[in-house]
Amino acid sequence: MSFSGYAQNTINNYKYVLVPEKFSFLKQENQYNLNALTKKLLDDKGFTVYYDNTDLPEEIANNKCKALTLDILGKSTMFSTNLTLLLKDCKGAVLFKGKEGKSREKEYDISYTNALREAFTSLNDLPYAYTPATSVQEEVKTVTVTVTPPPPPIQTPVKTVTTEKVEINGTLYAQATATGYQLIDTSPKIVFTLLKTSVPDYFIATNGNVNGIVFKKNENWFFDYYKNDQLVSEKLSVKF
């Protein structure tokens, strides 16, 4: 894959400059003819210049970041007029700041004109040739990683469980105990001991030799247990 970017911009990467029709330190548009003079001096430098509140070409109107914005810092005292030229990008970053132009003329129009021309001398001394910003391509090697899938898990043979159905002859009678019931035959002899679980009609059971479960299914009782890895289900006749 590749990464694209741009080197740090300079004024040479810009063809267009936007000039305000009124500077913030003055009260009127184009006061003392400063805005028109600014536009002319930029034109002489080689820029294509537009006022910022006029109809702009589509290229700039759709993307103001293709143009620089000119600003002038004005500072006046009783004895002098001081102007400083700034060129900013669309994010407000200053790409050029000129030296301070000064004038001690008493007439404002002359004083501002002289100070502006002196402020522009530092820009005029800077070589300018429009060079569009070029993208910097940084190639990033693509590393291909081959992932070997893990071997399939070892399948443990599953034993097929068959069910042997046995029916116990004779009726068993349930006698309640503290933990469940005991089932006795007519001898009387205890045939099963049943322990209660949280499920109704479902008991942990033992007949003294084998442990399993006794449960009710479809109104019939069954005793299920395993014998030689084979599930045995004995049907019981129980009276509670």
Mean pLDDT over the full length of the chain: 86
**HSE-CB for 232 with a 13 A CA cutoff:** 13
Task: For residue 176, list its beta bridge partners.
Answer: 181
pLDDT of 223 higher than 70? yes
Distance CA 111, CA 81 (A): 6
- C-alpha angle 50-37-117 in degrees, rounded to nearest 5: 125
- pLDDT at res. 76: 82
**Across 187-210, average pLDDT:** 92
- pLDDT at res. 1: 40
> 12-56: per-residue pLDDT in tens?
999 999 999 999 999 999 999 999 999 999 999 999 999 998 889
167 vs 86 pLDDT, higher one: 86
pLDDT of 96 higher than 90? yes
pLDDT of 130 higher than 70? yes
**Across 216-237, average pLDDT:** 93
Give the pLDDT band (50/70/90) at residue 133. confident
What's the pTM value of the predicted model, to 2 decimals?
A: 0.52
